[in-house]
């Protein structure tokens, strides 16, 4: 009888010591250090910028890293805004259309790459996924699926 009580006691202590806290609830919620916010403005969602090429996209939680290339002297003065059209296409998964507003005042012809980080949590829609379409040229479309 003592061994059964001991086993039950160990079982109860083991079950009560299990952590079912909030650790898994917000796995994707990460602070994007030195990031920009997405501009959601249909009036700024104009023509694609042909002077910039997306060379890489990666997601880490709510942080989107965009790597671009373009011509310039050293890329130090480049700025990049991520502009959403404020329209959601309710397909499966839903889609959002974005463009890059690239500003480059450098007059050199050397080619450089630079990375920019954006907090894209404002692009979430109902459900747990949205496809982000980046249209920055008349011929190419780059997409990435954002799951949250």
- CB neighbour list of residue 95: distance below 8 Å, 6 or more residues apart: 88, 89, 130, 131, 132, 133
Could you report the per-residue pLDDT of 76-95, keeping only the tens digit for each? 999 999 999 999 998 999 99
pLDDT bin (cut points 50, 70, 90) of residue 21 is very low
Work out the mean pLDDT of the chain and round it to a whole number. Answer: 81
Q: DSSP letters along 101-134, please?
A: EEE------EEEEEEEEEE-GGG--SSSEEEEEE
Contact 109, 144 (CB under 8 A): no
> What is residue 76's predicted lDDT score, i.e. its pLDDT?
92
**Is 28 a residue whose pLDDT tops 60?**
no
Element (H, E) at 7: helix 2-17
Of 43, 57, 27, 34, nearest to 142 by C-alpha is 57
Band (25; pLDDT cuts 50, 70, 90): very low
In degrees and rounded to multiples of 5, residue 143 shows phi and psi of: -130, 155
Separation of alpha carbons 94 and 74, rounded Å: 38
Q: Is the pLDDT of residue 104 over 50?
A: yes
Give the model's pLDDT for residue 73. Answer: 93
SS3 content of the chain, % helix, strand, coil (to 5): 15, 45, 40
Using the predicted structure, report yes or no on whether residue 29 has a pLDDT greater than 60. no
| Mean pLDDT confidence for 58-69 | 95
What's the confidence (pLDDT) of residue 66? 95
Please give the pLDDT value at position 33: 81
Can you tell me the mean pLDDT for 117-140? Answer: 89
pLDDT the model gives residue 19:
44
The pLDDT score that the predictor gives to residue 30 is: 55
pLDDT at 67 over 90: yes
Query: What's the burial of 24, exposed, middle or buried (CB within 10 Å: 0-12/13-18/19+)?
Result: exposed
């Amino acid at each position: 009888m003592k061994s059964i009580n001991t086993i039950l006691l160990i079982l109860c202590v083991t079950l009560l010591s299990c952590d079912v806290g909030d650790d898994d609830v917000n796995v994707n919620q990460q602070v994007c250090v030195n990031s920009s916010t997405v501009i959601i403005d249909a009036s700024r969602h104009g023509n694609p910028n042909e002077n910039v090429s997306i060379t890489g996209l990666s997601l880490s939680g709510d942080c989107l890293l965009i790597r671009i290339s373009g011509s310039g002297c050293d890329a130090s003065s480049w700025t990049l805004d991520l502009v959403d059209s404020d329209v959601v296409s309710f397909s499966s998964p839903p889609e959002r259309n974005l463009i890059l507003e690239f500003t480059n005042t450098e007059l050199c012809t050397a080619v450089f790459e630079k990375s920019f980080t954006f907090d894209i949590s404002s692009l979430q829609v109902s459900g747990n996924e949205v496809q982000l379409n980046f249209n920055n040229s008349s011929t190419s479309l780059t997409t990435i699926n954002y799951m949250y």
